[in-house]
Amino acid sequence: MSLIDDLIAWYSVHMNYASITGLMAVESSFIPFPSEVVIPPAAFVAGQPESVLCTTGNYPMDVLIIVLFGTLGAMIGAIINYGLSVWLGRLIIYKFADSRLGHMCLLSSEKLERAEAYFREKGNVSTFVGRFIPGIRQLISIPAGLSRMHFGAFLWWTFLGAFIWNCILALIGYVAAGKMDLIKEYSHELSVAILILLGAVVLYFIVKRIIASTKR
């Protein structure tokens, strides 16, 4: 049984707001753990009659509170990545990525290079858009820290992206009735759909700016 399997088994017994926050912090850091197995099951439990209580407490779970605590956890993990990148610097971060422990965390210099290239291409807004891209979601805070992105802007874009993503996952969990295969399938498709939508929005503003500049 893998570490992820152990965490999933533990979470199924210890599902509460604290565990949601902790696991989403793990998911948002450099440790590989899918948010799809944290938020959707919790939202499914919250969607049941009030007689279904938190598995380690005596209170019913609420979908909105799940989203808020999940977003808090995602921000904690992102801040950890940002802070470590600022503190350690590019050389040590890349050495860690290529170390045995880094590979255990599914890191590599190639993945970091892709994340940095994406950050340079998209700028600060990449910390928002990156929350919807598998493989980039957990790493986008690292180039933000390496480039010394303004911390206030980093917090805002991270919060916005994490909040929207967690809302989507919560909705999937609420509707999908705990079918994890269906959750994973649709979460990936929704990521693609959101990227297309975001691309359309960005294209709209680019075209609008070009048209405005030609009228001057």
- Asked if the structure places residue 30 within a domain, the reply is yes
Q: Quote the tokens at residue 30.
A: 């450099």
User: Residues 63-88: pLDDT tens digits?
Assistant: 889 999 999 999 999 999 898 888 88
DSSP code string of 19-36: HHHHHHHHHHTTS---GG
Residue-averaged pLDDT of the chain: 75
Inside any domain, residue 196: no
Q: Which pLDDT band, with edges at 50, 70 and 90, does 201 fall under?
A: low
Question: Locate tokens 């998911």: which residue?
Answer: 27
Spatial separation of the C-alpha atoms in residues 144 and 213, rounded to whole Å:
31
Question: Would you call 95 helix, strand, or coil by DSSP?
Answer: helix
The total of structural domains in the chain comes to: 1
Q: Is residue 177 part of a domain?
A: yes
DSSP per residue, 158-182: HHHHHHHHHHHHHHHHHHHTT-HHH
Q: Cβ-count burial of 120 within 10 angstroms (0-12 exposed, 13-18 middle, 19+ buried)?
A: exposed
Is residue 206 a part of any domain in this protein? no
Mean pLDDT (whole number) for 181-198 = 63
Q: For residue 141, is pLDDT > 70?
A: yes
76 domain-assigned: yes
Has residue 192 been placed in a domain? no
Question: Tens of pLDDT along 101-120?
Answer: 777 766 778 878 877 777 77
Structural domain includes residue 110: yes
